[in-house]
Structure 1
Amino acid sequence: MTFDDLEKILRTRDDVVMGTGCDESLVSYAERALGVTFPSALRDYLIRFGHLELGHFEMFGLGEDLPDYLDLVKMTRSERTDTGCPVRSDLVPLLNDGGGNLYCIGTTGAAAGSVFFWDHERGPGQEPDKCASSLTEWVVELLGDLDGNKG
């Protein structure tokens, strides 16, 4: 699924808030600040949307219209240093599940672009569980979770 396809789906929903995106220079700043190279899917997400709010799922991002608590750079730095289970440096958090666990995107090797579940109770040496092969696939799964929780 492309980001064009995803955006079409998102625009049909009344439970989605899309940011206004950000420019390439802000994405480059974030990469330098975090010491990683973002996979193309994360770059595309940030430039196109900035951030997304899917019902109660609030994804981290970048951009002018971004609530401070969703700032990708601030949250990644915090999750790497200020927790009992610091996130590995090759992962960039996308979403906090509200229970201290994180959904993260891989930035290196075969894991680049895949989404993983970082369980705060499994410790910093864990091998996180792969949730989705792509960012767009994972967002569609979140939408499905929202639809499953309605009614």
Structure 2
Amino acid sequence: MAKAVILDASTGLDEAGLATLEKKLGLALPADYRSFLSQQNGGRPVPECFSFLDDDGPYSDSLVDWFLSVGIDDPSDLLEYYSMYVEEERVPSHMLPIAHDPFGNLILLSLSGDDAGAIYFWDHENEGDADYSNLNYIGKNLDHFLERFFSFQG
């Protein structure tokens, strides 16, 4: 495993941009995600694969296709994803989409509660449960998540 390097990112957000984002969300961002957004805005990780605990077995793997960006006319716009998934109640209201895989699944960041800062995998194929049983824990925070990436061995 290796810490992911983010490629093809846009310029990071300044403090005013971060404050505007938090105001629009109505929630404070964890320090590690604020730092991430201040250094890069969107982008793709290398290596790109990660593992997570899965209900169907000990672990499953996926990959991050792209980290969501803020304030850029981009199909991977964080606020568009927030509107589409959180405001439409497809994911819990305290979760923030921060990335997606190429299969329509999301990487979510918990913004409040006992698990504030934790990272989850959201499986779109099991969407629709009122208890959000399609959420799978990845790691305790963004830094922990980024340190656990590995290359696909196909």
When normalised by structure 1's length, the TM-score is 0.73
More strand by share: 2
* 1:20 aligns to 2:11 (yes or no): yes
5+ unaligned residues in a row in structure 2: which ranges?
A: 47-63
Deviation at 1:77, TM superposition (A): 1.1
User: Using the alignment, how far apart are the partners of 2:102 and 2:33 within structure 1?
Assistant: 22
The alignment-based identity, stated in percent, is 23
Which string of whole-angstrom CA distances, capped at 9 and with x for unpartnered residues, describes residues 48-72 of structure 1? 1122212562001225xx4511221
User: Using the alignment, how far apart are the partners of 1:139 and 1:17 within structure 2?
Assistant: 16
User: Using the alignment, how far apart are the partners of 2:22 and 2:13 within structure 1?
Assistant: 14
Q: Could you tell me which amino acid in structure 2 is paired with residue 80 of structure 1? A: V
Q: 1:52 aligns with which of 40, 43, 52?
A: 43
Are the counterparts in 2 of residues 34 and 77 from structure 1 also a CA contact under 8 Å?
Answer: no
More helix by share: 1
Which shifted more, 52-61 or 128-137?
52-61
- CA 1:57–1:98 in structure 2 vs 1: closer, same or farther (change >3 Å)? closer
Equivalent residue number for residue 134 of structure 1 = 141
- RCO greater where, 1 or 2, for CA within 8 Å and sep 6 or more? 2
- CA 1:25–1:88 in structure 2 vs 1: closer, same or farther (change >3 Å)? same
Which segments of structure 1 move beyond 6 Å, counting only runs of 4 or more? none
Equivalent residue number for residue 101 of structure 2 = 97
Q: Could you tell me which amino acid in structure 1 is paired with residue 41 of structure 2? A: G
Deviation at 1:17, TM superposition (A): 2.4
User: Using the alignment, how far apart are the partners of 1:105 and 1:49 within structure 2?
Assistant: 17
5+ unaligned residues in a row in structure 1: which ranges?
A: 1-5
C-alpha root-mean-square deviation of aligned residues, in Å?
Answer: 2.4
- CA 1:140–1:26 in structure 2 vs 1: closer, same or farther (change >3 Å)? same
Which string of whole-angstrom CA distances, capped at 9 and with x for unpartnered residues, describes residues 21-54 of structure 1? 0111111211221222111111111111122212
Counterparts of 1:67-86 in structure 2 under 5 Å? 68-81=74-87, 86=90
Count of residues in Structure 1 that have an aligned counterpart in Structure 2? 132
Equivalent residue number for residue 88 of structure 1 = 92
Partner of 1:54, secondary structure, is strand
